[in-house]
Amino acid sequence: MAKGVALPLERAWSLLSGWVSEEEAVSEEATAWTPCVMPGPVEGGPEKKSNMDASFVDKLNNICGRMKAQGYDTKIFWGYRTEAEQVHIATAGRSFVEFKTFMDSEVEEGHITEESAQVYIDYYDPNKGNHAMRQDEDKATWTLKSVHRIGKAADVVHPTALWNPPEGEAYWDALEAAAEGEGLRIGPPASDRAHVQVP
């Protein structure tokens, strides 16, 4: 038996009875975790956590505990988003013409009314509102009907390095496993490895 690992009575009995191997018993206890409060959200402030689904927040806290038990720290960058915030994110990686096309398609999909869409289009139109669009090179969202809008999605990142954790892919692999352990999923798309949401 590995030193420093104390097995609960029921696990010791299972080991003695031959139901589990010594390695399985030690491994199970070594990965024990307790929930912790996941900090954030960063965008919009921690008070926005009140807009998130309570059961989903509980699962995020469980993910926090699962990750911390493996030596990984976490925080929520984006949680709940207002419609205006979701639209602003949709300007990322798009020219104004592309943004207008996107908004028109969202109207067709029934994700926003034509009247509301036009308000946002005019707001960002260089010849009308002329408000700044995001300067990101890559697109940050593909829909206005994001699960962020109903408080059942969060972008979970490293507390300081954000989307570039020093642990690299190991961090994202651990997050995916922790999310799946809580019945949640990564993405869509699957390449958005920080995005955790209800299935």
Question: For 126-177, how does the pLDDT look when each residue is reduced to its tens digit (9 = 90+)?
Answer: 999 999 999 999 999 999 999 999 999 999 999 999 999 999 999 999 999 9
**Same structural domain for residues 87 and 140?**
yes
The distance from CA 150 to its chain's CA centroid, rounded to whole angstroms, is 13
Domain at 158, CATH number: 3.30.1380.10
- If one counts the domains in the chain, the total is 2
pLDDT at 72 over 80: yes
**Same structural domain for residues 71 and 90?**
no
Q: What would the mean pLDDT of 37-45 be, rounded to a whole number?
A: 92
Asked whether residue 99 is assigned to any structural domain, the reply reads yes
d(CA 74, CA 88): 25
**Same structural domain for residues 98 and 123?**
yes
How sure is the predictor about 45, in pLDDT bands with cuts at 50, 70 and 90? Answer: confident
**Residue 94 belongs to domain spanning:** 83-144
φ/ψ of 49, rounded to 5, equals -60, -25
